[in-house]
Copies of this chain bind each other. A is one copy, B any other.
Amino acid sequence: MTLNKKLPIRRQRILDFIQTFIEENGLPPTVRDIQKACEISSTSVVDYNLRILDRDGFLNRRPDVARGIELLDDAGQPMGTVPRVQIVGRIAAGSPLPAFSAEGNAASQEFETIEVAPDLPKRHGRLFALEVQGQSMIDALIDDGDVVVIKPSHQAEQGEMVVAWLKEEEEATLKKFYPEGNQVRLQPANSSMDPIYCSADNVEIRGKVVSVIRKFV
């Protein structure tokens, strides 16, 4: 992963234009397309900047190939593919959560994955997912078989839907998070259900719920 140092305005503009162009036209732009759109006086300047963007891992150039530009994401992978989120385990009341980490899993191929709309990773970064087993999350309006998409996190803002691990009960649960001094109120999504209160020490936040996906065959 490259440093987050901001690029020169012109180079950033080129990058943005390429992305927009691909989205709108379904194929990468030519050097001259970029030249015109970014108001650059010469193709050599475009080429020069593309070289640097290539070297720094923002894109990939296929030499001698018309429109041979391929944008890469932060992880150096080709973009424009449908994002798949790993289902790293199943969650059910009373079942210990599988160990997951925000870091890259080395042996990542062994997990099932689920297709998600690209705006999710775009907005929240690296995500993972859990499949809910049983009806224990029904107070969170989550059914057996639903997939919960989660952004790893160890803290949360008030009101966010989180994956909370209750140490004493040895139970994972999906609730809205409300810190109240030394206590934590965990509020079900279903407003007709009562919240649970417990001491802040007993609650461990594992992640924030970003989306719930329910599919019918």
Contacts and interface: CB of A to CB of B under 8 A. Distances in A.
A82 B215 contact: no
A48 interface: no
Interface stretch (A5-13, A25-33, A35-43, A178-186): A25-33
Contacts of A142: 141
Interface residues of A, number: 40
A52 interface: no
A80 B210 contact: no
Interface stretch (A62-70, A91-99, A101-109): A62-70
A159 to B, nearest CB: 10
B82 A82 contact: yes
Please give the count of copies of this chain that the complex contains.
2
A143 B23 CA distance: 33
Interface stretch (A111-119, A164-172, A196-204): A111-119
A165 B216 CA distance: 20
Given A141-B142, A143-B189, A209-B216, A26 B80 contact: yes
B211 A213 contact: yes
Interface in A147-189: 160-161, 189
Contact of A66 (B67, B82, B116, B214): B67
Interface of A: 23, 26-28, 30, 66-68, 70, 78, 80-82, 114-120, 135, 138, 141-143, 160-161, 189-192, 208-216
